[in-house]
A and B are shown apart, each in its own frame.
Chain A
Amino acid sequence: MEQGLLPWPPLQRALCAGEEKRVGTRTVVVGHRPVSETDAYVAQKFCDNRIVSSKYTLWNFLPKNLFEQFRRIANFYFLIIFLVQVIVDTPTSPVTSGLPLFFVITVTAIKQGYEDWLRHRADNEVNKSNVFIVENAKQVQKESEKIKVGDIVEVKADETFPCDLIFLASSSVDGTCYVTTASLDGESNFKTHYAVRDTTVLCTDEAIDALTATIECEQPQPDLYKSLGPENLLLKGATLKNTKKIYGVAVYTGMETKMALNYQGKSQKRSAVEKSINAFLIVYLCILLSKATVCTTLKYVWQSNPFNDEPWYNEKTKKERETFKVLRMFTDFLSFMVLFNFIIPVSMYVTVEMQKFLGSFFISWDKEMYDEEIKEGALVNTSDLNEELGQVEYVFTDKTGTLTENSMEFIECCIDGHKYKDCISEVDGFSQTDGPLKYYGKSREELFLRALCLCHTVQIKEADQVDGLIGHPEHRYTYISSSPDEIALVKGAEKYGFTFLGLENNFMKIRNQKNEMETYQLLHVLNFDPVRRRMSVIVRTTTGKLLLFCKGADSSIFPRVQQEEIQQTKVHVDRNAMDGYRTLCVAFKELTQKEYDKIDRQLNEAKMALQDREEKMAKVFEDTEADMHLIGATAVEDRLQEQSAETIEALHAAGMKVWVLTGDKMETAKSTCYACRLFQTSTELLELTAKTVGESERKEDRLHELLMEYHKKSWTLSQEYGLIIDGSTLSLILNPSQDSSSSNYKNIFLQICLKCTAVLCCRMAPLQKAQIVRMVKNTKGSPITLSIGDGANDVSMILEAHVGIGIKGKEGRQASRNSDYAVPKFKHLRKLLLAHGHLYYVRIAHLVQYFFYKNLCFILPQFLYQFFCGFSQQPLYDAAYLTMYNICFTSLPILAYSLLEQHINIDTLTADPQLYMKVSDNAMLQWKPFLYWTFLGAFEGLVFFFGVYFLFQNSSLEDNGKVFGNWTFGTIVFTVLVFTVTLKLALDTRFWTWMNHFVIWGSLAFYVFFSFFWGGVIWPFLKQQRMYFVFAHMLTSVSTWLAIILLIFISLFPEILLIVLKNIKEKSHQGHGASTAGVGSPGWLPAGWHGCRICPGQRWLLPCQPCPGPAAWYWQDQCPPGLTLSQETMG
């Protein structure tokens, strides 16, 4: 975790009585008792404390849900079609389009209703919980939703705050309380809050009831990342700990609490596939319109001949004759629209939604993504983005906790330039030093260890009270801190004999090496913040000495210590950083009582300051932490997560660009990047950091020079480039001081970034991370971005990127809760993207194309039929077929396909990242494949229609000379159609499960069964019995059988031919050597090769342990024939 930014910082400024009223503030009257009689008390209206996350109520569900559903353009379109059918005399009954629409709307409404019901339940749980309110010096039990602004609420230990409260008084004398925000952001360490000073003493019901005050505070604001405010605002959702009870006055209630305001902010992400669908939809809409126009025009051309318009055998009704011609033409146009409207597949949306919803289960069910340690698998928060996982071009990853384990381990320390490494839990643990013990050695060591024990904000909790943080099984207690580094340091000190025993009444207890107790009075904690990058404590020893201990990043400590002490330590620090350790420097100074008094006064002044509090505090800190003495430095290792290097390599090989965004220091981050092979030894690094740019006045100019230099340099394709940039430089580029030519440099910077295969951004603030993501997201071609992180500081970039992935890490659940998908480990990203993402993309792309295809060849015969029925809008198929085609006969096979298909085996996909590039850039939904499918659909439509047309040139198709009518014609076409589109899917299916067999053959069987059934009964409520025995009669004719088989075969012939050709091509390709298909699939490696690995992206053989001998030798000697790679491709 990059240290301590509170994700839920209280930012409101609560002011006690007396300030003048300002616009944009609210006045809260404590306990509803006006301050004075004279003061005209205007009751402000505040919302009640009801949390409403649900969208609907029982009453408005139907209209509101319908309204929202019909706002979708497709649904609206079908509604219009339906209405046209109801109003105008159209060829098909309103049922044909009404039923599918009803089906789609119902399914969606049920899904949304269910989700809303769950929300209602969760809301009720919160709203109906009991709280105690102090009224007239008595406690009154109320439901949480009844709390009003101004009520004094009593909260007991381990209860959750029911709304945002101003902390008035606590049961503890000093007016503090401890709060954990675990349910908000997952940080389970205790934060201390302070009661308003004037009311601290009012710690009984009676006393608090006597309080008369008003509070002036800001109107509710959702801003999450505003800097810290006073520590007397208690947030709804946080839990009171270790304090018997507190009194607070409600200032923000219900939907105005911070929690509620922030949960609304999450916007919906839409996938790129949906955009393609919409584009195709427009094409098909154009086809539909032009078809209707052509038919209408031709109809009137044809009808210009009177005996065509109204022959004696087919007279018009009176009404028809009397209608105006223009109106008639318009209704005709609408009728044609209705007739052909099936070309836009109504059921596609519902199928896509079902596919996404059901498909997302496969991610959460994946056993390979199950982590034994946390006993959890992947989590899917949104199913809308499954296919987006297959389209990722940029991966932004956090470092700590994502690439690394975030389980810190104290590795070594250096005291006065001497390295102390790894003593194995011996009490007298300095035996393994590599430096001689100086004369004051012992005391310096002890000072250093005491510093480690004292300078932190770690708390001790009994093991069973803690929800799963770094446990210490042999002890009864566990260390808790928002920063794992601090725990590592405290534990490190413990290894050397100095055990921190906890904080009691501001006295820190330490057991030293000699098993003696030492107590120190904790006077002040100068908290960590990311700007200062250090923290300090001021303690008083039992002997009355005043000590200040400070620890922090080297860059923030070195300028504040004696310069002559730095040199030796710096060597160690740099070496440690190169090794990838996180380093911290420790310094101290002794204070005289006079100095301390001054500091104490300043600090208290600053704390009480009403304006510019932060600045004043910073100023005091700055002054205090000066002229210190450096004691030493620590090195803490954050181990790389298993396989994170392999994962990064695979992502690279799959054509993705990986950017590491970290708050860590550059050296540490850089070495991590080398360790996880983001940078190769051959990678040329371009640096834009404080180091290269310098700290001078001219740094902006210097930066611009550097940018131009990098921009103009000769980029070669074979060389890999990496860029390193730090936060301050980045903000120089993104927010330059003078706005001259700034956007220009921003562009140059972006171009440089895009050319690099790997980018490392260090010292990033959370918002800067999001800024970077947004910058890349908005470049030309709008590449798909993915952010992965584990901490609260990654939330902004997770929300910003197209796909946000959270790691279920040690830093709480904030990231995974805000993410779209959450996985236990970084390595799972590989399978998530390369296998799941690829497959989901292929599935949904195929689904979409198939839907358009099957509806094109469904409707094209109907269109062609118009040329033979006098453009009279006579439907070719029976209404039942029109209705059932999309929802019954052909829906399940494609749904099963789009859920189960693995055109390439999952293991191959995971093993060979290059396959990922095959679907990059939305490859399967470009115009070319779309045209292919469209032509295929058109071809098949032509075959269906004209095949049957020529068949019907026959005098009779039955052996008894009897003739077929128009409904048989349509039924033959329809039968061929259903069989062809289903078998086409069977041809496409590469991965057969019993489910595929069941739905494909089951659908066909169902079609046959349904047709018999539909034609086998005289339906009592139908006006027409046109399908009576049509299907059965059709099947008695041998010619029809022959024709159906022939037409199915002809329709599928191009597809079969393509498959055969593809097979031959692949085989001949393999025969010719130079295989790309074989690289990366480890199956063909000879027996002795199990220890070696082929790196598919770079196409070289990496000699991983234990790989005997140089890789090239094995490659050439033992590779199977036909698979030798030439020397230069071996990298």
Chain B
Amino acid sequence: TEQAPAPPGDTGRPPDRMTQRLLEGTPPDHQTVLEMGFWSWGVVTLQNECPGNTLAYSSISFFYSPTVNDCPFFPLQIDYTGTEPSSPCNKCLNVSWDSSPPCTCTINFTLEHSFESNVFMYYGLSNFYQNHRRYVKSRDDSQLNGDNASLLNPSKECEPYRTNEDKPIAPCGAIANSMFNDTLELYRIDNDTRTPITLIKKGIAWWTDKNVKFRNPTGDGNLTALFQGTTKPVNWPKPVYMLDSEPDNNGFINEDFIVWMRTAALPTFRKLYRLIERKNNLQPTLQAGKYSLDIAYNYPVHSFDGRKRMILSTISWMGGKNPFLGIAYITVGSICFFLGVVLLIIHHKYGNRNTSADIPN
């Protein structure tokens, strides 16, 4: 496998370290560190490594070779929490929900390799317990399924986000109330010109969720009328029927909303944010080069020591790249092979003797 050349200005680092770097200002150690939600058992950090050094890694690349021909092996991650004073987003660290206009910041980065196929843009949160029991159950699925009775009388599970000022909240519950509302925009910087990259916002939710499980209330009139008598979740700047301008992506069937409503399994998680489709066969989806990420920073995570990331990744037929399956298969395979050889030897050594004494058991 090919190794990434060291980025300019950071010659001291080992050359095989894959660098998805912020252009300026941020110390290298924090750029690419992924902190896993392992708070009680110490911090396991997994750094973005480009495979190529160890046996295991070469095996993995062998394993993945049919689908992945080149580095980057790992997705690109950008932490834009802004805890470090030097980060461009540091100014937004203590935003609150109702700050308007929203605090914005821009992070520039360089893409060492081009992404050849479709690129998937994720946002990731750390130390965010979407799987907390109180949180998980705080929703009303029949309300989200368009049941008019539940719309005006949400389930008790939604407490304390069930009503506001004696009006039922739609959508009710803690999950909906805490919906992720940062806006991420991607620009390619080519000779100081910023070209926006088209981000597709549809097709990110499960088909069954979008079409069956989530439904807007039924009835005549537009969404605004249908949601008459309800109020917006406390933390939302605008009601649910104003999430998007397109009617088939508005209200409960807004895909960003649906994605958020599928609670994550672990406190460090990612959710699909946008798709970047490959335009034509001549050009890669994202060329190597400089990019900038514009963030409308609305979502406070500092209060609970959380972190926010933007991830760009390509996907193979197996889904995203993950060393786990590869390592595990290789390891188990080698152990089996080794044991097989050992047992074969034992069998050869002792097995021949008892051909004469055939004793049924």
Contact = CB atoms under 8 A, between A and B. Distances in A.
A969 B135 contact: no
**Best-surrounded residue of A952, A1053, A1120 (most CB of chain B within 10 A):** A952
Contact of B120 (A955, A1060, A1067, A1083): A955
A1062 to B, nearest CB: 12
Contacts of A1046: 325, 328-329, 332
A1043 interface: yes
A1023 B136 CA distance: 13
Interface stretch (A233-241, A837-845, A975-983, A1024-1032): A1024-1032
A956 B272 contact: yes
Interface string B165-199: 00000000010011000000000000000000000
Interface string A959-978: 11111111111100000000
B141 to A, nearest CB: 4
Nearest to A874: B133
B272 A963 contact: yes
Contacts of A1081: 359-361
B313 A956 contact: yes
A45 interface: no
Given A963-B270, A1029-B206, A874 B360 contact: no
Contact of B36 (A953, A963, A1025): A953
Contacts of B30: none
A872 B128 CA distance: 13
A1088 interface: no
A874 B208 contact: no
Contacts of A869: 129, 131-133, 267
A523 to B, nearest CB: 71
Interface stretch (A311-319, A356-364, A375-383, A711-719): A311-319
Interface string B270-298: 11100100000000000000000000000
B120 A956 contact: yes
B36 A314 contact: no
Given A951-B324, A1023-B157, A314 B359 contact: no
A1073 B356 CA distance: 12
A1070 interface: yes
Contact of A1067 (B213, B311, B339, B354): B354
Given A307-B305, A1023-B142, A1023-B157, A1078 B315 contact: no
A908 interface: yes
A955 B133 contact: no
B263 interface: yes
A313 B356 contact: no
A988 interface: no
Nearest to A1083: B360
Contacts of B36: 953
Interface in B187-232: 203-206, 208-209, 212-213
A227 interface: no
Given A874-B132, A1038-B319, A1049 B332 contact: yes
A620 B142 CA distance: 98
Interface string A785-797: 0000000000000
B88 interface: no
A953 to B, nearest CB: 6
A1123 to B, nearest CB: 6
Contacts of B157: 1023
A1050 B75 CA distance: 28
B145 interface: yes
B329 A1042 contact: yes
B155 interface: yes
A870 B267 contact: yes
A1125 to B, nearest CB: 13
A869 B161 CA distance: 21
A1032 B209 CA distance: 13
A292 to B, nearest CB: 15
Contact of B259 (A953, A963, A967): A963
A964 B132 CA distance: 16
A956 B328 contact: no
A1043 B325 CA distance: 7
A1018 B320 CA distance: 30
A324 interface: no
B152 interface: no
Nearest to B355: A1071
Contacts, number: 250
B319 to A, nearest CB: 4
Nearest to B138: A314
Interface residues of A, number: 86
Contact of B213 (A959, A1028, A1032, A1073): A1028
A308 B259 CA distance: 24
B141 A868 contact: no
A1094 B186 CA distance: 87
A1060 B266 contact: no
Contacts of A955: 75, 120, 122, 270, 311, 313, 319-320, 322
Given A312-B304, A314-B178, A1037-B319, A874 B266 contact: no
B324 A1122 contact: no
A1067 B319 CA distance: 46
Interface stretch (B53-61, B108-116, B236-244, B342-350): B342-350
Contacts of A958: 315, 319
A1028 B209 CA distance: 8
A345 to B, nearest CB: 24
A1077 B361 contact: yes
A962 B272 contact: yes
Interface in A824-883: 867-870, 872-875
Contact of A1023 (B141, B275, B303, B321): B141
A965 B264 contact: yes
A823 to B, nearest CB: 28
A956 B343 contact: no
A1084 interface: yes
A26 B301 CA distance: 90
Contacts of B271: 963
Contact of A316 (B134, B303, B305, B354): B134
Contacts of B358: 1084
B357 A962 contact: no
Contacts of A1050: 328, 332
Contacts of A675: none
A1076 to B, nearest CB: 11
A1039 B318 CA distance: 5
A949 interface: yes
A619 interface: no
A1057 interface: yes
Contact of A1071 (B130, B137, B235, B350): B350
A315 B266 contact: no
A811 to B, nearest CB: 42
A1121 interface: yes
A1023 B155 contact: yes
A1050 B354 CA distance: 32
Contact of B304 (A307, A1032, A1037, A1039): A307
A317 B159 contact: yes
B360 A1120 contact: no
B10 to A, nearest CB: 26
Interface in A275-331: 298, 302, 307-308, 311-318, 320
A957 interface: yes
B215 to A, nearest CB: 10
B317 A953 contact: no
B145 to A, nearest CB: 7
18 contacts: A91-B133, A307-B305, A308-B304, A311-B129, A313-B177, A870-B129, A951-B325, A954-B321, A961-B272, A961-B313, A962-B206, A964-B262, A964-B265, A966-B264, A1028-B212, A1039-B318, A1064-B350, A1081-B360
Given A869-B133, A1025-B213, 11 more contacts: A868-B267, A872-B134, A874-B131, A949-B266, A951-B324, A964-B265, A966-B263, A1046-B329, A1046-B332, A1053-B332, A1084-B360
The 7 closest A-B pairs by CB, nearest first: A313-B178, A969-B265, A954-B322, A961-B120, A1071-B353, A307-B304, A1122-B357
